[in-house]
Amino acid sequence: MYFGIDLGTTNSLISVFENGQPRLISSKPMVPSVVALIDGALITGDAAKERLPTHPKDTVAAFKRAMGTDKTFKLGRQTHTAVDLSAMVLAHLKHLASSETGYDVSDVVISVPAYFNQLQRDAVRAAALAADLNPLRLINEPTAAAIAYGLQDIDEQGHILVFDLGGGTFDVSIIEVFEGVLEVKATSGDAFLGGEDFTKVLFEHLAQKHGIPTDDVVIKARLWDAAESLKQRLSTAHEAECDFVCDDRTESLSISRDTFSDIASNLVRRLRLPVERALYDAKLTSQQIDKVVLVGGATRMPLVRSQVSRMLGKLPEVGIDPDHVVALGAGIQAALTANDAALDDVVMTDVSAFSLGFSISRQFGNRYEHGFFEPVIERNTVIPASREHIFQTVELGQTEVHFELYQGEAPRVQDNIKLGAMKVKVPRNSKDYESIAVRLSYDTSGLLEVDTTVLSTQKTQSVTITDLTGGLSAREISARKKALQSLKVHPKDNEDNLALLARIERCYAMALAEDRNQLQNMLLTFQYALDRQNPSEIQSLQESLSEQLDQFETNYVR
Ligand code: ADP
Ligand code: MG
């Protein structure tokens, strides 16, 4: 039996995979991600959520947004971190699953927003450990959704775009399904956009329109509750209204879909960028998307659905309940991770959600500015991946180079996340700059290796960063490292690639003028691809070039 968890900002769910299928645990599977303090004891789930409007000082919600930060939450006199609070929700889910299946739930796969960085992912692992769970693996939420849909019609092929708008986060992923292989092509998102923001604009609109004071925490919490309920009712009705008692008067609050669309128009606009970025990274146009899958409660809003249709030119699929799909996918992933026989034919690949690279200095006129980010493995690279980059010293006679490894998309490293550092000695050279080849290798477990070679001396040095792996055992780590070795051969040195290059050159030798142009183009194209070190690009070129060469050789032999 394998278990998968969707640890949501708003609601959390646990699924179990058995008899070749995932299903949700418990008759009411959505557990509100809320923690409340009652008579000195902490509780979570529905009972805690009930107390949110009446006891706002003793209740916390939406703490997932603070994962990976030092922020603390006050509950009465107690203070807790987002990790503590998430651990309580996870322990609750563990308990639900254990009592229903009679199985001691320990190994789990937990989903996280694709855009969670390494610190946020570490926080999720820490919460799992604190809840006495063993996080086998974290999976990106939209990837989990795609697995759930992909498995349904695994024999179909094409591109799926997963559009996940939850309570606090927005994720977009593009996944290719092909002969039983699910390959994540690109992920993108906005870590600070979700259904809560739609509630917030409605809350502010109501407060202003009806002159409701929001500095009182209790009134504020009740108005929030009213806004949330009006928002949800607008998903099925064109207008919604409710009474609100405040300071001895009763206000009749009402909202129409049109007004809501107006006040939420900025939020709706923000949905566009991550979709465009994912399409761009996947090198696809919106017409090439075969299926659009909606995930997350906030995709129930008609204004979101029509924006999706407008952007992608097709109506979204609604086969699986948008609230359940991520948890089901996480359950499938748990079975995949454990190599369950039922899923023998399914292969999953994933991409790195972030760019990885080093801090470098750039020259402006005759002075140097430090702290620029130079990516080596770019975001949305299929992992495991291994890439090499040549760096140079900045000063003549420099004897040491300090490499600082960062993760992120910002041009300056100060805005990215530092993962580690290493020093490399280079020979003192007062005539020329020294070059260092740096190879970064990264796999799905989070294992990161840095190998450096000083080109003039061929001296090598390696550092393995394992604190991103979430506590893999020494044995697992050494197995992972072995698996990465084969990737570390530069594609330029790979025998098949060398053979293909030689074949193009041989054909060139026997070809005539106009064919020679074509062959030269083939040579350049292939060399560029080798430089970029993208395995899938290289493989597809190997195939297409070999075919062209076959054709060419038949013509010449004739
Ligand atoms: P998360 O993955 O962050 O836990 P969910 O997928 O459970 O979030 O979605 C929660 C969000 O969905 C909340 O902001 C909630 O207001 C919104 N939501 C749920 N049902 C509806 C509905 N019927 N109409 C509009 N929004 C809804
Ligand atoms: Mg979710």
299 vs 183, higher pLDDT? 299
CA of 161 to the centre of ligand 1 (A): 19
Residue 247: band (very low, low, confident or very high) from pLDDT cuts 50, 70, 90: confident
Q: Exposed/middle/buried for 402, CB within 10 Å: 0-12, 13-18, 19+?
A: exposed
Element (H, E) at 163: strand 158-165
Neighbour tally for 1: CB within 10 Å: 17
Per-residue confidence (pLDDT) for residue 380, from 0 to 100: 76
Q: From CA 471, how far away is CA 12, in angstroms rounded? A: 24
Q: What residue type is assigned to position 331 of the chain?
A: G
| Last residue in a domain, options 351, 371, 395 | 351
Tokens of 4: 């998968």
Residue 557: band (very low, low, confident or very high) from pLDDT cuts 50, 70, 90: low
Residues 416-428: what's their mean pLDDT? 89
Q: What residue type is assigned to position 99 of the chain?
A: S
Asked whether the predicted pLDDT for residue 385 surpasses 90, the reply is no
Strand-pair partners of 176 = 159, 183
DSSP string for 461-528: EEEEE-TTSSS--HHHHHHHHHHHHGGGS-GGG-HHHHHHHHHHHHHHHH--HHHHHHHHHHHHHHHH
Q: Exposure string (b/e) for 286-324, b if CB count within 10 Å is 16 or more?
A: eeebebbbbbbbbbbbebbbebbeebbeeebeeebebbb
pTM comes to 0.70
Instruction: Identify which of 49, 111, 300 to mutate to test ligand 1's pocket (most ligand atoms within 8 A of the CB).
Output: 300
Instruction: Identify which of 65, 232, 323 to mutate to test ligand 1's pocket (most ligand atoms within 8 A of the CB).
Output: 232
User: Same structural domain for residues 179 and 309?
Assistant: yes
Per-residue confidence (pLDDT) for residue 231, from 0 to 100: 98
Tokens of 82: 């987002």
Asked whether the predicted pLDDT for residue 252 surpasses 80, the reply is yes
Tokens of 363: 């020259």
Contact assessment for residue 470 and residue 135, using Cβ atoms and an 8 Å cutoff: yes
Q: From CA 425, how far away is CA 1, in angstroms rounded? A: 51
Residues 147, 193, 79, 470, Cα dihedral to 10°? 30
Residue 303: band (very low, low, confident or very high) from pLDDT cuts 50, 70, 90: very high
Q: What residue type is assigned to position 4 of the chain?
A: G
Q: Does the CB atom of residue 196 touch ligand 1 within 6 A? A: yes
User: Same structural domain for residues 100 and 212?
Assistant: no
Asked whether the predicted pLDDT for residue 238 surpasses 90, the reply is yes
Residues 470-476: what's their mean pLDDT? 64
What's the maximum distance between 2 C-alpha atoms anywhere in the chain?
Answer: 98
Closest-CA residue to 61 (of 167, 187, 179, 182): 167
Per-residue confidence (pLDDT) for residue 26, from 0 to 100: 81
CA of 233 to the centre of ligand 1 (A): 12
Q: What is the pLDDT of residues 483-493, one digit of tens each?
A: 667 667 777 78
Closest-CA residue to 189 (of 115, 298, 292, 121): 115
CA of 8 to the centre of ligand 2 (A): 5
Give percent above pLDDT 70 in the chain. Answer: 92
Closest-CA residue to 487 (of 347, 389, 385, 349): 385
Q: Nearest 5°: phi and psi at 357?
A: -170, -165
Residue 84: band (very low, low, confident or very high) from pLDDT cuts 50, 70, 90: very high
193 vs 535, higher pLDDT? 193
CA of 327 to the centre of ligand 2 (A): 9
Contact assessment for residue 75 and residue 102, using Cβ atoms and an 8 Å cutoff: no
User: Same structural domain for residues 524 and 464?
Assistant: no
Q: Does the CB atom of residue 229 touch ligand 1 within 6 A? A: no
Q: Does the CB atom of residue 359 touch ligand 1 within 6 A? A: no
| Last residue in a domain, options 321, 351, 381 | 351
Q: Nearest 5°: phi and psi at 553?
A: -65, -40
User: Same structural domain for residues 421 and 283?
Assistant: no
**Closest atom of ligand 1 to CA, residue 323:** 6
Residues 276-293: what's their mean pLDDT? 92
CATH number of the CATH domain containing 440? 2.60.34.10
Q: What is the pLDDT of residues 155-184, one digit of tens each?
A: 677 899 999 999 888 989 898 877 666 777
Ligand nearest 166 Cα, by number?
1
**Mean pLDDT estimate for the chain:** 87
CATH number of the CATH domain containing 257? 3.90.640.10
Q: What residue type is assigned to position 547 of the chain?
A: E
Per-residue confidence (pLDDT) for residue 127, from 0 to 100: 95
User: Same structural domain for residues 421 and 533?
Assistant: no
User: Same structural domain for residues 114 and 180?
Assistant: yes
Q: Does the CB atom of residue 444 touch ligand 1 within 6 A? A: no
User: Same structural domain for residues 48 and 116?
Assistant: yes
Residues 363, 366, 367, 370, Cα dihedral to 10°? 10
Residues 391-415: what's their mean pLDDT? 90
Asked whether the predicted pLDDT for residue 450 surpasses 70, the reply is yes
Q: From CA 475, how far away is CA 375, in angstroms rounded? A: 30
343 vs 173, higher pLDDT? 173
Q: What is the pLDDT of residues 253-266, one digit of tens each?
A: 999 999 999 999 99
Give percent above pLDDT 90 in the chain. Answer: 50
Number of folded domains in the chain? 4
User: Same structural domain for residues 39 and 89?
Assistant: yes
| Sheet hosting strand 400-407, strand order edge to edge | 367-377, 356-364, 400-407, 417-425
Strand-pair partners of 407 = 356, 417
Instruction: Give the Å distances, CA to CA, from 484 to 441, 449, 553.
Output: 7, 9, 37
Residues 77-92: what's their mean pLDDT? 95
Closest-CA residue to 143 (of 166, 171, 122, 168): 171
User: Same structural domain for residues 91 and 22?
Assistant: yes
Asked whether the predicted pLDDT for residue 30 surpasses 90, the reply is yes
Tokens of 289: 């998307």
CA nearest ligand 1 atom 23, residue: 232
Q: Does the CB atom of residue 29 touch ligand 1 within 6 A? A: no
Q: From CA 346, how far away is CA 66, in angstroms rounded? A: 35
For tokens 């030119």, name the residue.
313
Residue 449, domain extent? 356-487
Helix (H, G, I), strand (E, B) or coil at 358: strand
| Last residue in a domain, options 317, 351, 385 | 351
Instruction: Give the Å distances, CA to CA, from 171 to 348, 380, 448.
Output: 19, 14, 25
Q: Nearest 5°: phi and psi at 378?
A: -80, 160
Asked whether the predicted pLDDT for residue 536 surpasses 70, the reply is yes
Asked whether the predicted pLDDT for residue 540 surpasses 80, the reply is yes
Q: Residue 66 gets which letter from DSSP? A: G
User: Same structural domain for residues 200 and 331?
Assistant: no
Ligand nearest 12 Cα, by number?
1
Residues 365-370: what's their mean pLDDT? 85
Residue 349: band (very low, low, confident or very high) from pLDDT cuts 50, 70, 90: low
Q: From CA 154, how far away is CA 202, in angstroms rounded? A: 41
CATH number of the CATH domain containing 130? 3.30.420.40
Q: What residue type is assigned to position 152 of the chain?
A: Q
Q: Residue 315 gets which letter from DSSP? A: P
Q: What is the pLDDT of residues 438-449, one digit of tens each?
A: 999 887 666 788
Q: What is the CA radius of gyration of the chain?
A: 27
Q: From CA 356, how far away is CA 134, in angstroms rounded? A: 27
Ligand nearest 323 Cα, by number?
1
Residues 285-305: what's their mean pLDDT? 94
User: Same structural domain for residues 104 and 144?
Assistant: yes
Which segment of 13-17, 28-32, 74-78, 335-339 scores lowest on mean pLDDT? 335-339
Three-state DSSP string of 511-522: CCHHHHHHHHHH
* Cis amide bond preceding 384, omega within 30: yes
User: Same structural domain for residues 434 and 470?
Assistant: yes
Per-residue confidence (pLDDT) for residue 241, from 0 to 100: 96
